[in-house]
Structure 1
């Protein structure tokens, strides 16, 4: 049985996949260099020694080989299905179905990744863990301070600019009729910013606690639980926010789909088919 991981807590892998999609024609080139990029990034976090680098390199190569053989072909199929769906207005149920496909892909990838991460974590020294956690906690503090001192109007403008740029990439042009949808999304993002920061703080502190117990026999199970059910921290107070966020996302994407005109649908369809073609070619050689 496949364990269900929370799609609402995207980690590094899902962000890397998103970056792949946003890199257009460079998708294949970036994917082929992804193993090197992961090693470089983790080495930068932990200052790994030679044996740790060798272990990490082997684990990443194994993960990438598995991912290319089993997941990349699924991406091609899922993107082809999504391209077919976006040519017509999508209901919330249709949107939810495609989000679930992405969730299942992330679940499978995390299940393959966690045992590898546990093996590496158990080789880390106290100094390496302290260096990593100091950086994570410092970044978290910086985010909280930025949010506290930035005027609301300024942050809303930033969120609006960011969403408009994303939409221009995906649908080619944001029409005046879609401005209320952008404003709605931006308002939601601001509303959830404070609880999201609080959740990130709680999650990071729990990770810090687990890393101190990385030699424990149940470290792998506890790390999996943190990734799987992290929004259950602090007596589950964050679960309501994440459930609400998911439903809002589904409804919003459905509303956006229904607002698209022919040219926007054509733009989105062409992008998705192009990515499907890239992933299919990657899976074949």
Structure 2
């Protein structure tokens, strides 16, 4: 059931990403998230009436908690980040703001896990089998794509996606920033094999847990998998997680150092607008 909430969290985070792309529609999209989560998971699992009622209750509970406890923190952290990006950021500064983001996600996960356990215990074997079969199929497709696509083609795709995101966040990308984009794409390609291997190990552990979802230890084991999943297989993936984090910190710092005044102003304005949106939502909840 781990990936049920990971899927739910992915929908929720996708919605939050949308918030950062629509300006004045922020409140509309945020208040729509609970319905979007329920609709998608209901469609995916073909829930019965009692399960739909439980899911609706749990999602509304999560969103109510998030509005009360996390929105004020979002507003504060985004305002602080806006001030920080106005000047070149050191790796230590990037680490501080990354830690704040991870702490927020950890708090959300902590609130979501008990809700996950309650819903997981209601799933039938057929619902779980459908869920797992779809996950395995998606992994096989990703594995096939990696094995059949050329390295150059995949790296170009990574670069195009990153460049598109950067245009939104900082405006026009400068020629001097192209090497950073190429470096990021190279890292993404390099990490694909261990990431695919990890996804396979994680799914096998999830499948094992789901067969024991009525066990008294299910909640504890689910928490372990969600919070410390990279410790699977004697911790062989933990090093990749740490390496990816350090690379991300260094890369973001380098990007910050490379930005000109117009790019800083662009990013500062976006972050301040989102901070103000969340602050308004906090006052009006």
TM over 0.5: yes
Question: Under TM normalisation by the shorter chain, which class is it?
Answer: over 0.9
Structure 1 residues 217-272: Cα deviation after superposition (integer angstroms, max 9, x where no partner): 01111011001110011111111111000000000000000100000000000000
State the match for 2:56 in structure 1: 57
| Unpaired stretches in structure 2, ≥5 consecutive residues | 1-7
Aligned match of 1:267: 266
Partners of 1:238 and 1:160 in 2: how far apart?
25
Kept in 2: contact 1:14–1:106 (CA 8 A): no
After superposition, the C-alpha distances for 1:145-204 in whole angstroms (9 at most, x for unaligned) are 111101111111101100100110100010001111111111101100111111111111
d(CA) in 2 for partners of 1:209, 1:82: 41
Specify the alignment match of 1:282 in structure 2.
Answer: 281
Q: Is residue 242 of structure 1 aligned with residue 241 of structure 2?
A: yes
| Structure 2 counterpart SS, 1:22 | coil
How many residue pairs get aligned? The number is 276
In 1, Cα distance between the equivalents of 2:66 and 2:152?
Answer: 42
Alpha-carbon separation, structure 2, partners of 1:47 and 1:138? 18
Give a deviation string over 1:104-131, Cα, whole Å, max 9, x none: 1001100000000100000011011111
**2-structure distance, mates of 1:223, 1:23:** 35
Q: Which residue of 1 aligns with 2:120?
A: 121
Task: Please report the TM-score for the alignment, with normalisation by the length of structure 2.
Answer: 0.94
Q: Tell me the secondary structure at the aligned position of residue 90 of structure 1.
A: coil
State yes or no: 1:169 paired with 2:171.
Answer: no
In the TM superposition, what are the counterparts of 1:35-184 in structure 2 within 5 Å?
35-184=34-183
Query: Which residue does the alignment assign to 1:3?
Result: none
Partner of 2:4 in structure 1? none
Q: Cα distance, 1:93 vs. partner?
A: 0.2
Q: Aligned equivalents of 2:147 and 2:22: distance in 1?
A: 33
| Aligned-pair CA distance for 1:17 | 2.8
Contact 1:164–1:174, Cα closer than 8 Å, also in 2:
yes
Match of 1:191 in 2: 190
- Aligned residue for 2:173, secondary structure, equals coil
For residues 275 and 30 of structure 2, what CA distance do their matches in structure 1 show?
A: 14
- Tell me, in whole angstroms, the C-alpha distance in 2 between the residues paired with 1:182 and 1:134: 35
**Partner Cα distance (1:115, 1:126) in 2:** 20
RMSD (CA atoms): 1.3
The alpha-carbon distance between structure 1 residues 124 and 19, as it changes in their structure 2 partners (threshold 3 A), is same
Q: Separation in 1 of the partners of 2:164 and 2:191?
A: 21
In 2, are the aligned partners of 1:231 and 1:239 still within 8 Å (CA)?
yes
Q: Structure 1: 5+ residue runs without aligned partners?
A: 1-9
Q: TM-score, normalization: structure 1?
A: 0.94
The corresponding residue for 1:215 is: 214
